[in-house]
A = this chain, B = another copy of it.
Amino acid sequence: MRILLTNDDGILAPGLRSLEKIARQLSKDLWVVAPDYEQSGASHSLTLTQPLRVRKVNSRKYAVRGTPTDCVIMAIDVLLKGQKPDLILSGVNRGGNLGEDVTYSGTIAAAMEGTLLGIPSIALSQNYKHQHPVKWATAEHHGAAIIRKLLKQGWPRDVLINVNFPDVVHGQVSGVEVVRQGKRDLSDLVIDDRVDARGVPYYWIGFRRQLGAPAEDTDLGVIARGGISVTPLQLDLTHRSTLRRLKAALP
């Protein structure tokens, strides 16, 4: 089984080393194509107005000056030419990809791109508390077993899988739960208003924080109770009930 590894935290990220540890338990045929710098919040962005540069780390590991989506496209179309992977693993992201995070996330986006290109793709993220160490060992301990189970079951060609690991030591994980995407309360959006060393103002977008208790049957709910969440995501965003209603009402 040929596996392509990528991420959005960049080629030097500790989470990529965790992903390599997980993937080595599944196969020896591993390729790594990851962004040269951190691309957090890159979403499903494509580099269209800039050239892409590629640096070879070794014969199976490349750093791309681009987004996670660029990395997957470059891997499939150029770097692994004729050696299409059987699986794409994206991560392990430093921080959760829960609720509507999935629309911003470069980690999810790489798995979206793999899915669009017809390759089964899984995104993996390790939740942590701000200014606390990341418990990478939790993802490393449970990752391979979950991926094996998912591959055994399979999933539709136009669907990707989003896996999140909780911020607890690996022995305290409460279980694995398949759940829907949750929703955060976004009222606590943080923008810092600052002044640079020349006295010119600038702004910095900060983290959004979860307020209140998340719904139990969601990714947010599972992570809050120390479980591993598994959520299948689709790329068809059509809202069916509104489609039916507007179809009758509009023209």
Contacts and interface: CB of A to CB of B under 8 A. Distances in A.
A204 to B, nearest CB: 6
A237 B205 contact: no
A105 to B, nearest CB: 9
Residue of A48, A204, A230 most packed against chain B (CB within 10 A): A48
- Chain A interface, DSSP helix/strand/loop, else mixed: mixed
A230 B49 CA distance: 28
B245 A205 contact: no
Contact of A78 (B48, B117, B191): B191
Interface string A197-212: 0001111110000000
Contact of A44 (B44, B117, B189): B44
A213 interface: no
Contacts of A249: 153
A77 B196 CA distance: 20
Interface stretch (A15-23, A24-32, A34-42, A125-133): A34-42
A54 interface: yes
Interface string A124-154: 0000000000000000000000000110010
Nearest to A244: B178
Copies of this chain in the oligomer: 2
Contacts of A155: 242, 246
A48 B41 contact: yes
Contacts of A78: 191, 193, 203
Nearest to A246: B178
Given A177-B251, A178-B243, A237 B73 contact: no
Given A43-B43, A100-B116, A233-B237, 14 more contacts: A40-B49, A43-B44, A51-B194, A51-B204, A52-B204, A54-B201, A74-B203, A78-B193, A78-B203, A153-B245, A181-B237, A181-B238, A231-B243, A234-B238
